[in-house]
Amino acid sequence: MPEYAALGERLRKRLDNRSAVISIIGLGYVGLPLAENFALGGFRVVGFDIDSAKVEQLNAGRSYIGHIASERIGELVRTGKFHATTDPQAFRDVDVIIICVPTPLTETREPDLSCITNTAETIARHLCRGQMVVLESTTYPGTTEDVLRPILEKSGLLAGRDFFLAFSPEREDPGNKTYSARNIPKVVGGLDSASRDLAALLYAPVVSGVVKVSSTRVAEACKILENTYRAINIALVNELKVVFSSMGIDVWEVIDAARTKPFGYQAFYPGPGLGGHCIPIDPFYLTWIARKYGRSTRFIELAGEINTAMPHYVVDRVADALNDHSKAVRGSKITILGMAYKKDVDDPRESPGFEIMDFLLRKGAQVEYNDPHIPRLPRMRNYPHLQMDSQELTPAYLQSRDCVLIVTDHSAYDWKHIVEHSQLVVDTRNATRQVRRNNVVLA
């Protein structure tokens, strides 16, 4: 197809000389770092989000994500390298559209692709010949070709003839000081070789390496494998934590001993439950699509059962610890430390802290929280009733609480201060290992 080849050559030249304009849809924990990365790499970036408050904040040079400095956003806005909009008409004036929207689960643990399909419907109304669309949202193998492509082709344009289509899984890890979007290799798969090669050319200037794979399905499966691997290994150590605890064995000491082996072992650590937008969700995308092919994923489903049971286990451990102090959960004053899903970030998505808080409240406890990165709990889809402010951890406040429950081990916490002034500490992260006293219970 000579015309298709000519469209590819035009886009290749614009990517080569950085004159291509990149639009990124969804300016959250994945999209905003990516937008910053492309802008710093010399491209002009148009960010799109349906949240007008976010758009106004970004255009004023203010970041709402902790690890992205407002100063950097402000500089990119001032130099014209980045601006945000809620107007989908802007898609007509760009060369590449990258989709970074959420892919949650329904209440029955089935894929919820509504954000992808709604976004695709919007793009289709403005799609132009010669553009490239790249999906980054984590999803099951086949989504790009079987779900996204047909919606985009409602535009009257055909993928592989009029526009290019690719998938490249996001690999963002908020709070990771070693690896960021810039130095994590990018996997890319295309609808065809032209789409794949153009996607590789798109990312090559702004990441440390590009890994080309044979199809969008392989690229989609790659991300599912990465997170399923982590979910299963975390489930293993969570199960061992429960077993070893009943045997009077410290699971963290066991892991520290095992990790001295220089081969054949990688350390994973137990916790109060899985959090974040990837690991608690992505494996269930694979189990769902496997059923469509008449296959079962018993190993993955068992890991899911173990991990989703951990908040219940933590609440039971809190109840046991209070009971040992001749107190009931009902009426006890409990403070949760850390509502972010992982240490040193301000991201509460899928944090087990919300489920634990909800369980404790339903058991009659008086629950508050502290998180230096989350001054007020955001309205969460499954927990809209959990609205409160972070409490200051003064000695008097800690002493007044019947139990302090460590859910997220932020570096900002002074564990010695917390242990010294608390009546009872239940530690799900081994955060108090250097300052542990008789008032500390591991969970």
Are both 168 and 241 inside the same structural domain? no
**131 and 189 inside one domain:** yes
User: Which residue, 214, 243, 278, sits at the end of a domain?
Assistant: 214
Structural domain ending residue among the three candidates 164, 182, 214 = 214
How does residue 66 score in pLDDT terms, banded at 50, 70 and 90?
A: confident
Same domain, 127 and 85: yes
Q: For 102-111, 255-264, 347-356, 383-392, which range has the lowest pLDDT when averaged over its residues?
A: 102-111
pLDDT (0 to 100) of residue 105:
86
For residue 323, name the pLDDT band (cuts at 50, 70, 90): very high
The pLDDT of residue 9 is above 90: yes
Is 228 among the domain residues?
A: no
Could you tell me which residues come within 8 angstroms of residue 43 by beta carbon, excluding any fewer than 6 positions away?
Answer: 18, 20, 21, 22, 81, 206
Average per-residue pLDDT in the chain?
A: 95
Could you tell me if residue 129 is inside a domain?
Answer: yes
Region 344-370 average pLDDT: 95
Give the residue carrying structure tokens 């010669």: 130
222 found inside a domain: no
**Domain end: 181, 214, 247, which one?**
214
Cβ atoms of 164 and 8 within 8 Å: the answer is: yes
Stretch 106-118: mean pLDDT: 91
The residue type of 4 is Y
Each residue's pLDDT tens digit, 161-193: 999 999 999 987 777 778 777 788 999 999 999
Which residue do the tokens 């970074």 mark? 100
Do residues 390 and 375 touch, judged by C-beta distance below 8 A?
yes
Average pLDDT on 241-247 reads: 96
Whether residue 297 sits in one domain with residue 180: no
Beta bridge partners of 425: 404, 440
Residues 255, 197 share a domain = no
Query: Do 105 and 186 reside in the same domain of the chain?
Result: yes
Provide the domain limits for residue 238.
234-442
- Are residues 331 and 187 both part of a single domain? no
User: Is the residue at 109 inside a domain?
Assistant: yes
Does 223 map to a domain? no
Share of the chain above pLDDT 70, in %: 100
Whether residues 265 and 187 fall in one domain: no
The count of other CB atoms within 10 Å of the CB of residue 236 is 14
pLDDT digits (tens, 9 = 90+) for 249-271: 999 999 999 999 999 999 999 99
Which amino acid is present at 377? L
Domain tally, the chain: 2
Instruction: Tell me: pLDDT of 1 over 80.
Output: no
Q: What is the pLDDT of residue 282?
A: 86
Q: Same domain for 21 and 114?
A: yes
Question: What CATH code is carried by the domain that includes residue 171?
Answer: 3.40.50.720
Q: Give the confidence band of 21 by pLDDT, cuts at 50, 70, 90.
A: very high
> Which one is predicted more confidently, 266 or 2?
266
Residues 377, 247 share a domain? yes
92 part of a folded domain: yes
- 192 and 276 inside one domain: no
pLDDT of residue 335: 98
At residue 277, the pLDDT reads 73
Inside any domain, residue 220: no
Q: pLDDT, tens digit, for every residue of 217-235?
A: 999 999 999 999 999 999 9
Spatial strand order of the sheet with 403-406 comes to 366-370, 333-337, 403-406, 425-427, 440-442
Q: Hey, which residues are catalytic here? A: 278
pLDDT score, position 189: 98
20 within a domain of the structure (yes/no): yes
Residue 314: CB partners within 8 Å, gap ≥ 6? 272, 273, 352, 356, 405, 407, 426, 428, 443
In which band, very low, low, confident or very high, does the pLDDT at 153 lie, cut at 50, 70 and 90? very high
Report d(CA 280, CA 105) in Å as an integer: 10
What pLDDT digit, counting tens, does each position of 263-313 carry? 999 999 999 998 877 788 888 899 999 999 999 999 999 999 999 999 999
On whether both 341 and 378 belong to a single domain, the answer is yes
Instruction: State pTM to two decimals.
Output: 0.91
Averaged pLDDT, 42-48 = 97
